């Protein structure tokens, strides 16, 4: 079981590339919090954040709120802001410009990406910008493990990341039919590759869900839970499977995931069940049975305890919100 892939599929990671920007020094571009424009750019996602890929030149990236160190970006680098931080890109540290929310919308009269060209020659920077969206309810274990700034280095000419970046550039220039779909998938691939590099580079003392994937015992437990979510897992059975005592396993699992093993099992089951409940042809009892609950009453109690609503109310709310999101899409 590839736990990260399982989670990214269950929380519906979705990408989109919206802008192909070229600026000549001196320049600055500022982005708002993604939550301020999420409904306009990715109305079908519960949670949205920015990512940017620098194609040519070099520049600085900075968070615009709170103390943080400027980040130097070189051609091929990718940077994402998963914690909904407003941020700026600039040719010199400290430059600022008020972001315009009007530019953040899905066009109805042209194919993405928007092309912004403000010059060429010496001191030119070019970057492509987009968004990543996902579900965070009922349960998304990986999103809180991300840093405020996720920085990937794609400067090595033969790196997989460099190849993805070059493909993305080619697609932004060609405007071929199906280009928006290709760019969306490339955005997801770019993010996952940067995410994998981030996990590989985590120090031994790191904690959090992503770090737990690398831990021999916790990683093994996560693979068991995700591989067999309907299994009748207990603290004892999981501890025995990974070769630890119950107390040591429980402490180690909570250190990495922020939840007890049984809390994690329950939350992940509800995430899977919630996805099934979005299908009107799947009964509540069937959704519960698929994640290990023999009785509908038991599933109702467990779902309400984790999610805060009974499964029927959750289903009704999701179907209504899905209809609202569909109505908001460009016609």
What is the predicted pLDDT for the residue at 136? 95
Q: What is the token pair recorded at 143?
A: 């999103």
What is the predicted pLDDT for the residue at 161? 64
pLDDT tens-digit profile of 11-26?
A: 999 998 888 899 999 9
**Between residues 294 and 186, the one the model is more confident about:** 294
What is the predicted pLDDT for the residue at 110? 75
Given a cut of 50, whether residue 247 has pLDDT beyond it is yes
- Residue ranges of the chain that CATH labels 2.60.120.10: 3-201
Q: What is the token pair recorded at 214?
A: 């690398």
E strands present in 146-285:
150-152
- Residue ranges of the chain that CATH labels 1.10.10.60: 209-321
Q: Which residues pair with 129 in a beta bridge?
A: 19, 52
The rounded mean pLDDT for the chain is 89
Average pLDDT of the segment spanning 34-60? 94
CB 53 within 8 A of CB 127: yes
The rounded distance, in Å, linking the Cα atoms of 291 and 127 is: 44
pLDDT confidence bin for 321, thresholds 50/70/90 = low
What is the predicted pLDDT for the residue at 240? 98
pLDDT confidence bin for 326, thresholds 50/70/90 = very low
Most confident region among 62-66, 193-197, 218-222 by mean pLDDT: 218-222
**Between residues 242 and 166, the one the model is more confident about:** 242
CATH domain 3-201 topology: Jelly Rolls (2.60.120)
To the nearest whole percent, how much of the chain has pLDDT over 90? 68
Most confident region among 108-112, 191-195, 249-253 by mean pLDDT: 249-253
What is the predicted pLDDT for the residue at 94? 92
pLDDT confidence bin for 320, thresholds 50/70/90 = low
71 phi/psi in degrees, rounded to 5: -115, 125
pLDDT confidence bin for 330, thresholds 50/70/90 = very low
What is the predicted pLDDT for the residue at 310? 96
pLDDT confidence bin for 147, thresholds 50/70/90 = very high
CATH code given to domain 209-321 = 1.10.10.60
Given a cut of 70, whether residue 177 has pLDDT beyond it is yes
**Between residues 220 and 161, the one the model is more confident about:** 220
Strand 150-152 to 47-56 pairing: unpaired
What is the predicted pLDDT for the residue at 167? 72
Please choose, from the candidates 144, 28, 30, the residue with its C-alpha nearest in 3D space to the C-alpha of residue 87. 30
pLDDT tens-digit profile of 273-302?
A: 999 999 999 999 999 999 999 999 999 999
Please choose, from the candidates 212, 223, 282, the residue with its C-alpha nearest in 3D space to the C-alpha of residue 253. 212
What is the predicted pLDDT for the residue at 156? 54
Q: Is 127 helix (H, G, I), strand (E, B) or coil?
A: strand
Given a cut of 60, whether residue 169 has pLDDT beyond it is yes
What is the predicted pLDDT for the residue at 155? 62
**Between residues 229 and 120, the one the model is more confident about:** 229
pLDDT confidence bin for 329, thresholds 50/70/90 = very low
What is the predicted pLDDT for the residue at 251? 98
What is the predicted pLDDT for the residue at 162? 66
CB 212 within 8 A of CB 244: no
């Amino acid at each position: 079981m590839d736990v990260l892939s399982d989670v990214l599929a269950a929380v519906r990671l979705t990408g989109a590339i919206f802008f192909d920007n070229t600026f000549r020094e001196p320049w600055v571009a500022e982005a708002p919090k993604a939550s301020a424009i999420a409904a306009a750019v990715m109305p079908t996602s519960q949670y949205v954040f920015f990512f940017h890929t620098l194609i040519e030149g070099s520049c600085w990236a900075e968070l615009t709120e709170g103390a943080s160190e400027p980040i130097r970006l070189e051609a091929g680098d990718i940077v994402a802001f998963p914690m909904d931080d407003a941020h700026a890109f600039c040719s010199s540290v400290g430059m600022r410009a008020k972001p315009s929310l009007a530019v953040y919308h899905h066009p109805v009269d042209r194919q993405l990406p928007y092309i912004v060209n403000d010059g060429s020659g010496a001191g030119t920077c070019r970057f492509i910008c987009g968004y990543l969206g996902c579900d965070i309810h009922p349960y998304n274990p990986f999103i809180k493990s991300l840093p405020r700034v996720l920085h990937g280095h794609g400067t090595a000419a033969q790196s997989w990341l460099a190849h993805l970046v070059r493909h993305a550039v080619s697609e932004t220039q060609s405007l071929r039919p199906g280009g928006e779909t290709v760019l969306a998938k490339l955005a997801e691939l770019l993010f996952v590759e940067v995410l994998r590099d981030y996990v590989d580079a985590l120090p031994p003392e790191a904690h959090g869900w992503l770090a737990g994937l690398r831990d021999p015992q916790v990683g093994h437990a996560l693979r068991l839970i995700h591989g067999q979510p309907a299994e009748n897992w207990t603290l004892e059975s999981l501890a025995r499977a990974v070769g630890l005592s119950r107390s040591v396993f429980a402490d180690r699992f909570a250190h990495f995931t922020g939840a007890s093993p049984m809390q994690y099992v329950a939350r992940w089951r509800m995430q899977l069940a919630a996805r099934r409940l979005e299908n009107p042809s799947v009964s509540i009892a069937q959704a519960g049975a698929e994640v290990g609950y023999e009785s509908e009453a038991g599933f109702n109690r467990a779902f309400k305890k984790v999610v805060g609503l009974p499964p029927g109310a959750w289903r009704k709310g999701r179907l209504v919100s899905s209809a609202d999101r569909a109505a908001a899409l460009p016609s």
